[in-house]
C-alpha cells in the first residue's frame, strides 16, 4: 500500500454489477429469495463494489465474514463462527439462543462456546444436521424485522464444512424470505481441481442463484478512477 493513497471516491465501471446487487436486495425486501456468487481476479474491486452496495443499504443487517487462507479443514465453519461471535457481541447470548430451535443446547455452541456445552454423545451426522438447521433458523429469525445480507468473502479459501453449509443455505433459500446470501471468490485461483469449482457448477443449476463476474476495468475506466483521487496526478491520455 502506498501511503496517502486512499480508495477512489468514484466507483467506475461497475454500474451493471451494482444494479444487480440492488435488484437482489429489493427482491429480498419483498420476501423473495436470491443468492449471488461474485467472482473476479484478486484486486479487481470486489470489496470496493460491496462497500458501495452496503453504504446504499444502511437499514439492512449485514453479516459479513471471510474465509482464512490458512484455515484448512482443521478450522471448520470459520466465517460462520465469526458471524455468530459478532451477533453474540451485538445482541447478547440470551437473545441469540432464544432465536434457535428448542432442542436443548444448540449445536452452534460448537462454534461459539458462549451458547453452552453441546452434547458430545450426538452422532456426527445428527450434530451436523442440527447445526445446519440451527443456522437456517437463526437467519430466518434475524430477517423477521427487516432484510439480512449474509456475505461470505474469499470462498476460494473455504474449508469443506463452510462450503457445505453455504451450499445448504443457498439451496434452502425458499425457507429464508428476506435473506440475501452472497459469496465472493477469486476466479483466477480456481484451478481445475479446486474444490470450489464443483460447488459453483452445482449451484449454477439453481434457479435463484446468479453468478456475477467482475471484469478488469478498461483503460478509460482506470483513468477515470485515477482522476477521481484528489491526491494523484494522472496523465490526461489515460482518461481519453
Q: Which domain holds residue 40?
A: 15-239
The mean pLDDT of 118-147, rounded to a whole number, is: 93
pLDDT score recorded for residue 9: 55
Q: Which long-range contacts (CB under 8 A, 24 or more apart) does 138-145 make?
A: 138/87, 138/96, 138/99, 138/100, 138/108, 139/169, 139/176, 139/179, 140/175, 140/176, 140/177, 140/179, 141/99, 142/61, 142/63, 142/87, 142/99, 142/179, 143/61, 143/176, 143/177, 143/178, 143/179, 144/178
User: Domain for residue 8, yes or no?
Assistant: no
26-47 confidence digits (pLDDT tens) = 999 998 888 999 999 988 888 8
User: Domain for residue 48, yes or no?
Assistant: yes
pLDDT score recorded for residue 222: 52
User: Domain for residue 10, yes or no?
Assistant: no
pLDDT score recorded for residue 8: 44
User: Domain for residue 5, yes or no?
Assistant: no
Give the chain's domain count.
1
User: Domain for residue 3, yes or no?
Assistant: no
User: Domain for residue 9, yes or no?
Assistant: no
What is the gyration radius of the CA atoms in the chain, in angstroms? 20
User: Domain for residue 174, yes or no?
Assistant: yes
Residue 115: is it exposed, middle or buried by C-beta count within 10 angstroms (0-12/13-18/19+)? buried
| pLDDT tops 60 at residue 237 | no
pLDDT score recorded for residue 229: 56
Q: What DSSP string runs through 171-207?
A: HTGGG-TTEEEEEEEEGGG--TT-THHHHHHHHTTST
Which DSSP letter does residue 239 get?
G
Pairing label, strands 148-153, 61-66 = parallel
50-62 confidence digits (pLDDT tens) = 888 998 888 899 9
* Residue 89 in grid coordinates: 457481541
pLDDT score recorded for residue 118: 83
Q: What's 225's domain CATH number?
A: 3.40.50.300
User: Domain for residue 106, yes or no?
Assistant: yes
pLDDT score recorded for residue 72: 62
Percent of the chain having pLDDT more than 70? 82
234: pLDDT confidence band, cut at 50, 70 and 90? very low
| pLDDT tops 90 at residue 181 | yes
Rounded to an integer, what distance in angstroms lies between the CA atom of residue 130 and that of residue 145? 24
Amino acid at each position: 500500500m502506498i501511503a496517502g493513497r486512499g480508495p477512489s471516491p468514484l466507483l467506475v465501471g461497475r454500474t451493471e454489477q451494482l444494479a444487480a446487487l440492488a435488484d437482489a436486495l429489493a427482491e429480498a425486501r419483498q420476501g423473495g429469495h436470491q443468492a449471488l456468487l461474485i467472482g473476479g481476479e484478486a484486486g479487481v474491486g470486489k470489496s470496493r463494489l460491496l462497500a458501495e452496495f452496503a453504504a446504499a443499504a444502511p437499514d439492512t443487517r449485514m453479516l459479513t465474514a471471510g474465509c482464512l487462507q490458512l484455515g484448512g479443514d482443521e478450522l471448520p465453519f470459520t466465517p460462520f463462527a465469526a458471524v455468530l461471535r459478532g451477533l453474540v457481541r451485538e445482541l447478547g447470548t440470551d437473545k441469540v439462543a432464544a432465536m434457535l430451535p428448542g432442542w436443548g443446547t444448540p449445536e452452534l455452541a460448537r462454534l461459539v462456546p458462549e451458547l453452552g456445552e453441546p452434547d458430545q454423545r450426538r452422532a456426527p451426522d445428527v450434530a451436523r444436521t442440527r447445526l445446519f438447521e440451527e443456522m437456517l433458523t437463526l437467519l430466518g429469525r434475524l430477517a423477521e424485522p427487516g432484510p439480512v445480507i449474509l456475505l461470505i468473502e474469499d470462498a476460494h479459501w473455504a474449508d469443506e464444512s463452510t462450503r457445505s453449509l453455504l451450499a445448504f443455505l443457498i439451496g434452502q433459500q425458499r425457507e429464508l424470505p428476506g435473506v440475501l446470501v452472497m459469496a465472493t471468490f477469486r476466479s483466477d485461483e480456481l484451478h481445475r481441481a479446486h474444490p470450489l469449482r464443483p460447488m459453483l457448477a452445482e449451484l449454477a443449476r439453481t434457479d435463484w442463484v446468479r453468478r456475477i463476474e467482475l471484469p478488469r476495468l478498461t483503460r478509460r475506466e482506470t483513468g477515470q478512477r485515477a482522476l477521481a483521487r484528489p491526491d494523484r496526478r494522472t496523465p490526461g491520455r489515460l482518461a481519453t
